[in-house]
């Protein structure tokens, strides 16, 4: 069996490109203001029973994050606050992102958005949607009423 290595890398690059375009679109729609100071990473995968989206939100508390579904877009917003003790410090290196964020993930599989299950554990927000049968493209019979003539 052939290695999936190149395909995984292509998928990772495509996801990164999508993420950059989503960020650019958010920047444009906000009139030039940056939608956030950092952009959380996300994993999206599906099983036979569910579609799962995981967001990395290290240091973000539950009260500082919101989640919504808008059409086929899952939107997570929030803010990662800087600790009070670090505000007046003189930094030698600063790589961790802080501030507001917004991340949009497009849901392309048919799922029940009303039955979403969520949990925030160890800085990872997991959102699970039950899958529903895809009726698009299937032939669906339509009964014809007898006009009585």
User: Among residues 71, 76, 70, 68, which one has the least CA distance to residue 43?
Assistant: 76
pTM: 0.66
Average of per-residue pLDDT values in the chain: 81
User: Among residues 66, 60, 54, 35, which one has the least CA distance to residue 105?
Assistant: 54
User: Among residues 99, 144, 94, 101, which one has the least CA distance to residue 125?
Assistant: 101
pLDDT of residue 75: 93
**With contact defined as beta carbons under 8 Å apart, do 54 and 43 qualify?**
yes
Residue 8's pLDDT band (cuts 50, 70, 90): confident
Condensed to tens digits (0 to 9), the pLDDT of residues 94-143 reads 777 788 999 999 998 889 999 999 999 999 999 999 998 876 666 667 77
* Alpha carbon distance 123, 98 (integer Å): 14
Condensed to tens digits (0 to 9), the pLDDT of residues 63-82 reads 999 999 998 899 999 998 87
Q: Locate 25 and state its tokens.
A: 């679109």
């Amino acid at each position: 069996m052939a290695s999936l290595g190149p395909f995984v890398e292509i998928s990772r690059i495509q996801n990164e490109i999508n993420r950059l375009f989503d960020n650019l679109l958010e920047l444009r729609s906000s009139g030039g203001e940056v939608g956030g100071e950092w952009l959380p990473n996300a994993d999206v995968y599906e099983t036979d029973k569910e579609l799962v989206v995981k967001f990395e939100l290290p240091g973000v508390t539950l009260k500082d994050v919101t989640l919504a579904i808008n059409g086929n877009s899952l939107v997570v917003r929030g803010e990662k606050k800087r600790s009070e003790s670090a505000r007046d410090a003189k930094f030698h290196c600063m790589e961790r992102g802080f501030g507001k964020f917004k991340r949009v993930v497009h849901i392309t599989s048919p799922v029940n958005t009303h039955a979403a299950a969520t949990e925030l554990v160890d800085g990872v927000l997991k959102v699970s949607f039950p899958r529903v049968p895809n009726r698009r493209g299937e032939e669906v019979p339509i009964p014809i009423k007898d006009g009585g003539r």
